[in-house]
């Protein structure tokens, strides 16, 4: 768990150095600097941060991953998973259909990674994605 409030309290409230704060909170000095820079960029001081909950503070300082590419439409993951349960549907085919609708959309690798790591164990799912295929053994043809 992040210790943002404690870092702000020690640095701003008590005036400790970055090194002293990092030792006290037991995090890297670079992390202390990052928290302070993010708080300054968000316009937060110690008094404001003390009133916020940890979740609200975390949300203000750390942007969600989906905000990096706001112009890219995400695939409808529920529809993709439903289609994959049926016969004849492949992830590549569904990705091509998605790309026809949204040419600026995500490429194949991030799409397949999202599906492969999903927690569902529905029939027809790619449950073995990411596993190493078993080694194939062959008989030696040389003299015995």
Residue 100's alpha-carbon distances to 74, 88, 90, 93, 94, in angstroms, are 13, 19, 16, 11, 10
Locate 68 and state its tokens.
């990096």
- Average pLDDT, integer, range 130-143: 49
pTM confidence score: 0.46
Confidence of residue 22 (pLDDT cuts 50, 70, 90): very high
3-state DSSP call for residue 32? helix
Locate 42 and state its tokens.
């968000």
Instruction: Look at 13 and 136; give whichever has higher pLDDT.
Output: 13
Number of Cβ within a 10 Å radius of residue 133: 6
Locate 26 and state its tokens.
């037991």
Which own/partner contact pairs does 80-89 have at CB distance under 8 Å and 24+ positions apart?
Answer: 80/115, 81/115, 81/118, 81/120, 81/122, 81/125, 84/115, 84/124, 84/125, 84/126, 85/122, 85/123, 85/124, 85/125, 86/124
Predicted confidence at residue 72, as pLDDT, reads 79
For residue range 51-110, what is the model confidence (pLDDT) as tens digits? 988 888 888 888 655 455 667 788 888 888 888 888 888 888 888 888 898 888 877 775
H/E segment holding residue 115? helix 108-116
């Amino acid at each position: 768990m992040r210790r943002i409030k404690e870092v702000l309290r020690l640095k701003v409230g008590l005036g400790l150095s970055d090194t002293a704060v990092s030792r006290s909170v037991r995090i890297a000095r670079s992390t202390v600097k990052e928290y302070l820079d993010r708080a300054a960029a968000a316009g937060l001081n110690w008094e404001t941060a003390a009133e916020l909950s940890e979740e609200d503070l975390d949300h203000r300082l750390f942007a969600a991953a989906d905000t990096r590419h706001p112009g890219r439409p995400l695939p409808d993951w529920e529809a993709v998973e439903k289609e994959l349960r049926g016969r004849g549907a492949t992830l590549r085919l569904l990705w091509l259909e998605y790309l026809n609708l949204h040419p600026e959309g995500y490429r194949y690798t991030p799409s397949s990674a999202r599906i492969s790591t999903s927690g569902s164990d529905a029939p027809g799912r790619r449950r073995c994605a990411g596993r190493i295929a078993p080694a194939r053994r062959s008989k030696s043809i040389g003299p015995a």
